[in-house]
Amino acid sequence: MTVTAVVPTVPVLVSAPPRWNFAGFCDYCGQRGCTNTRCITLYASSWWMVCPLCAGTGDVDGDCCRMCLYGVVEANSTTPGAIRPAVSG
């Protein structure tokens, strides 16, 4: 399988994923209901952008994209279009 990275050429509205998954487990430490200061700080200082592999669809050739989380990936703060999450837990 050949995969080509796709970078949006127009401005795209990006939302950061939540720190906890839908079952209440922290994406950083894997603990349910995590209140760890380290995890909270990591999330608050993170930057996110549209996944360059699946272009945000979460799908690569009919399979689940293994590079991203809900169509976005963590990015460098200097990456054009990268956003910070609205911190709420």
Tens of pLDDT, residues 37-87: 999 999 999 999 999 999 899 999 889 899 998 899 999 989 888 888 876
Higher-pLDDT residue of 42 and 7 is 42
Q: What pLDDT band is residue 19 in, cutting at 50, 70 and 90?
A: very high
Mean pLDDT is lowest, of 3-12, 16-25, 47-56, 78-87, for 3-12
Q: In the chain, where are the structural domains located?
A: 1-89
Count of CA atoms in the C-beta half-sphere (13 A) of 88: 4
Higher-pLDDT residue of 32 and 70 is 32
Q: How far apart are CA 45 and CA 32, in angstroms?
A: 21
The confidence score (pLDDT) of residue 15 equals 83
